[in-house]
Amino acid sequence: MSAKRPKHTVQIAPEKVPKDHYKSTAHLPVLWSFILFDGTIEWHDQSRREESFRKVAKYMRDYEGLTWGQIEQRDHPIAKNQLIRDAQRRLREIQQDDIDELWRFRFGARRRIWGVRDGRIFKVLWWDPQHRICPSRQKHT
């Protein structure tokens, strides 16, 4: 009687551990994507004149020279539950409520661009010129 042997062996992978893909992109510059841009909602007072795209593009261009490691020293993600209710509701409406946090880039005292970080790509979601999506409390008040 001959001993039977399998023709193929299967290697069972050890338990998978998620990689910190942010660390692997710390040395890379930001790339912008507008695939998620939600231009149907405006986060500013209609009576105020909206800034031109030229000015917003300049802010974004200034960030393009920075690596994600440098960006992380001045900007950071914000947990979804810290956003105003209207923003959380809008995320549900546009089927983006499965994300836990949004990144925001600060351009001066009030101006923000909100989006989703996907590795080195920043997917722009909202323009928030009056800091309404996640207003911060003033210190010492």
Determine the pLDDT at residue 31. Answer: 92
7 is a domain residue: no
Q: Which residue carries 């800034």 as its tokens?
A: 51
140 is a domain residue: no
User: For the chain, what percentages of helix, strand and coil (3-state, to nearest 5) are there?
Assistant: 25, 25, 55
- Bridge partner list, 78: 102
Q: Report pLDDT digits (tens) over 84-126.
A: 999 999 999 999 989 899 999 988 888 889 999 999 999 999 9
Distances (CA, A) of 101 to 21, 47, 83, 115: 15, 30, 10, 9
Average model confidence (pLDDT) for the chain? Answer: 81
Tell whether the torsion through CA atoms of 118, 122, 127 and 130 is positive or negative. Answer: positive
Q: How many domains does the chain have?
A: 1
138 is a domain residue: no
| Residue 117 region by backbone torsions, left for phi larger than 0, else alpha for psi between -120 and 50, else beta | beta
Name the least confident of 2-6, 28-32, 47-51. Answer: 47-51
1 is a domain residue: no
Q: Which residue carries 């549900």 as its tokens?
A: 92
Q: Which domain holds residue 78?
A: 27-128
106 is a domain residue: yes
104 is a domain residue: yes
Query: Could you give the CA distance from residue 141 to residue 26 in angstroms, rounded to a whole number?
Result: 36
Whole-prediction pTM: 0.74
- Kindly state the average pLDDT of the residues 25-30: 91
- Kindly state the average pLDDT of the residues 17-28: 67
8 is a domain residue: no
85 is a domain residue: yes
